Amino acid sequence: MTVLAPPFTLETATKKVRVAEDGWNSRDPERVSLVYTPDSRWRNRAEFVTGRAEIVAFLSRKWAKELDYRLIKEIWAHSDNRIAVRFAYEWHDDSGNWFRSYGNENWEFDAQGLMQRRYACINDLPIKQSERKFHWPLGRRPDDHPGLSELGL
């Protein structure tokens, strides 16, 4: 596996975003935590997370609540060691209420390509099940499934 490390080009930054999307769609907190530095710092909504152990705990809580989670990320901008993305994901709670969550993330990477900072702003929109747009089996989004721009999101 090729490590995607800074400085980023548009091509490597775009690949880094897809790798992140694939990891999060695995819904495997341990796997996801390994792309962050051991002392990575996050702000996710109003929650502050530091280090891999807290990342695993956070993601475990998240995916226990956000059921049938499916995510699409899209690059917004990049620089030497930073990438900005926009994203949307669909999920439902344990009562069957569906949501589409929209957000933006700012990422900063160390020289080895591990994420050392992640700042996320997210808003939840209640939707009807019939309004869902993310239709693929749980796991990695198929290459032929439309992205955010193609879906008009």
Residue with tokens 């032929």: 144
- For residue 1, the model assigns a pLDDT of 44
Specify which residues 74 forms β-bridges with: 86
User: Along the 153 residues of the chain, how does pLDDT read in single tens digits?
Assistant: 456 999 999 999 999 999 999 999 999 999 999 999 999 999 999 999 999 999 999 999 999 999 999 999 999 999 999 999 999 999 999 999 999 999 999 999 999 999 999 999 999 999 999 999 999 999 999 999 999 999 999
- For residue 137, the model assigns a pLDDT of 96
Phi and psi based region of residue 140 (left: phi greater than 0; alpha: psi -120 to 50; beta: remaining): beta
Q: What is the pTM of this model?
A: 0.95
- 98-109: strand order across its sheet: 47-50, 36-44, 115-127, 98-109, 82-92, 67-78
Phi and psi based region of residue 16 (left: phi greater than 0; alpha: psi -120 to 50; beta: remaining): alpha
Asked: is 10-131 a CATH 3.40.50.620 domain? The reply is no
Where do the structural domains in the chain lie, given as residue ranges?
10-131
Residue 147's Cβ-count burial label (10 Å; 0-12, 13-18, 19+) is middle
Q: Please say whether the dihedral angle defined by the alpha carbons of residues 96, 55, 19 and 87, taken in this order, is positive or negative.
A: positive
